[in-house]
Amino acid sequence: MSIEKTAITPTRAQDFPEWYQQVIKAADLAENSETRGCMVIKPWGYGIWELIQQQLDRKFKATGHQNAYFPLLIPLSYLEKEAEHAAGFATECAVVTHHRLEAVQDETTGKTKLIPTGELAEPYVIRPTSETIIGAAFARWIESYRDLPLLINQWANVMRWEMRPRLFLRTAEFLWQEGHTAHETRDEAVAETRMIHGLYAEFLRDHLAIPVIPGEKTAHERFPGADMTLTVEAMVQDRKAIQAGTSHYLGQNFSKAQNICFAGRDGQIQHAHTTSWGVSTRLIGTLIMAHADDDGLVLPPRVATQQIVILPITPKDDSRAAVIAACHALAETLRHHLYQGDPLRVHVDTRDLSGGVKKWEWIKKGVPLRIEIGPRDIETRKICVQRRDQAVSAKEFPDKEDFIRRASEILDEIHQNLLRRATDFRDSNIIPCATLDAFHAHWAQDNPGWLHTAWAGTPEQEVELSKQHKITIRCIPVDAASLPLTLQTGGACFLTGKDTATRVLWGRSY
């Protein structure tokens, strides 16, 4: 029996965590840095993040939000003002305690050492999130209801001292956007929270080809200091969950702690209702785990650093110049065409490497479309087209003009194909559960999917089950249309037997 050779070893089935690391390496996305728990994002990986950032930023600005920037260092006293928030991040905080270094010569080795001196009067925390420091600014900026709503977003880096780092999914330092808004009323703030929640779900579906289940976190899983946390949960290929984005209604908790007040329409001083929300470079990890295969990365076209790569095939030196010229001419023509409102991103690979080496490099990098052009193709005006959503050996030979007309349509077909695959996989791995015995039996399996259950348990019972099986309630789904039609669990909680209208999804997660 022959074993199919793959570009990535081990395969997903053999060792999913190691496969994930090897995909990142093969696609040249990122690498571990000398700073523990931190990563270097390489150009191909950072190009994906730039596209995510640009496309999301347009959506934020279209809904009235403005970008600003706030300090990296947060006074420790700011975190202490909101006790629950501070406690939630306390174990992840990196703290700056000194403001200079002094050179001291070691008497034994003769080497120079740098010793921290100049202890700060108050320590600073490297931001794990910015509610407190942005809240302080809001308290200065807001005086009247006329200053509301205040809709601010920040693109920044944050630090959470991660004990078990994994590239893109959990690193000590990562990149993200964090939106922070202040509103006159609860209803306006809740509407903002839900609007952003929907925006995230649409972005993952329409830009990353990742279907998500939008839902609300339980009180136990809620963001520290929030009154409500909404989440978009994605299933990846080992059937685990990834919290791909969150949107929080903070009530008046932070505004009371930080004195974010305004004169209301009746002249009375009131506390603002605030929100916060964010997604991070974790989206790239989610994308990898959702779409990559045993030959490498598979990129949805909208966030592909290059959407089309053209490979000149030049077996003879005397034809090289003509072939390369034809490749550049095709690339320039394609760049005048649009996909989803942006010019096509096209690259011609003229490096002095064999065609096989270049082909496999671009396969592993996940480029949606590869085109090969040789001397004969110039004569026939046909091109060889290979799609990353199909088998690596699959080829099509369309007329060049026909391909030019259909290039954007083909990219959209690739997106829809990836979305359909991911949706079918997810839906086939969410299982209804109505009894405690079935619940326990499910989690005894290797790589089980999610469970969908009725739930009327207490937070204490939720914690007990979570610890027992190393699972969590991923969310209380808020959109029935996002769930498979087959999910019917009845009205009785599998644990307590009580009738309830509440349905929850349980899963193991990253």
Q: Quickly count: other Cβ atoms within 10 Å of residue 480's Cβ.
A: 9
| Helix ranges, 366-399 (H) | 375-380
Please state, in angstroms and rounded to a whole number, the distance separating the CA atoms of residues 507 and 426: 12
Please state, in angstroms and rounded to a whole number, the distance separating the CA atoms of residues 273 and 182: 6
Res 83: pLDDT? 67
CATH architecture of the region 308-410: 3-Layer(aba) Sandwich (3.40)
Helix (H, G, I), strand (E, B) or coil at 246: strand
Say which residue the tokens 């990535």 belong to.
Answer: 8
Res 2: pLDDT? 44
Amino acid (one-letter) located at 456? A
- Written as six digits, the tokens of 369 are 């479309």
Beta strands in 77-227, from DSSP E residues, in sequence order:
95-105, 112-126, 150-159, 173-183, 212-216
Please state, in angstroms and rounded to a whole number, the distance separating the CA atoms of residues 151 and 180: 7
- Residues 6+ positions from 409 with CB-CB distance below 8 Å: none
Say which residue the tokens 């956007």 belong to.
Answer: 177
Distances (CA, A) of 56 to 59, 149, 169: 5, 20, 19
CA atoms 17, 22, 28, 31: torsion sign: positive
DSSP annotation of 355: H
CA atoms 292, 297, 300, 303: torsion sign: positive
DSSP annotation of 485: T
CB of 491 closer than 8 Å to CB of 456: no
Q: What is the DSSP string of 253-301?
A: HHHHHHT-EEE-TTS-EEEPEEEEEEEETHHHHHHHHHH-BTTB----G
Q: Quickly count: other Cβ atoms within 10 Å of residue 307's Cβ.
A: 25
Please state, in angstroms and rounded to a whole number, the distance separating the CA atoms of residues 18 and 163: 18
Q: Which pTM value belongs to this model?
A: 0.95
- Written as six digits, the tokens of 346 are 């096209």
- Written as six digits, the tokens of 319 are 């034809």
Say which residue the tokens 């260092």 belong to.
Answer: 73
The domain segmentation of the chain, as residue ranges, is: 16-95+130-291, 308-410, 430-507
Strands 450-454 and 430-432 turn out to be parallel
Res 490: pLDDT? 65
Given phi > 0 = left and psi -120 to 50 = alpha, else beta, which region is 235?
beta
- Written as six digits, the tokens of 344 are 């096509």
Residues of the chain with pLDDT under 50: 1-2
- Written as six digits, the tokens of 53 are 């950032």
CATH architecture of the region 430-507: 2-Layer Sandwich (3.30)
Q: What are the phi and psi torsion angles at 130 (to 5°)?
A: -115, 15
Please state, in angstroms and rounded to a whole number, the distance separating the CA atoms of residues 16 and 9: 10
Helix (H, G, I), strand (E, B) or coil at 148: coil
Given phi > 0 = left and psi -120 to 50 = alpha, else beta, which region is 259?
left
Helix (H, G, I), strand (E, B) or coil at 343: strand
* CATH class for the region spanning 16-95+130-291: alpha beta
Res 488: pLDDT? 62
Question: Counting Cβ atoms within 10 Å, is residue 161 exposed (0-12), middle (13-18) or buried (19+)?
Answer: middle
Res 509: pLDDT? 96
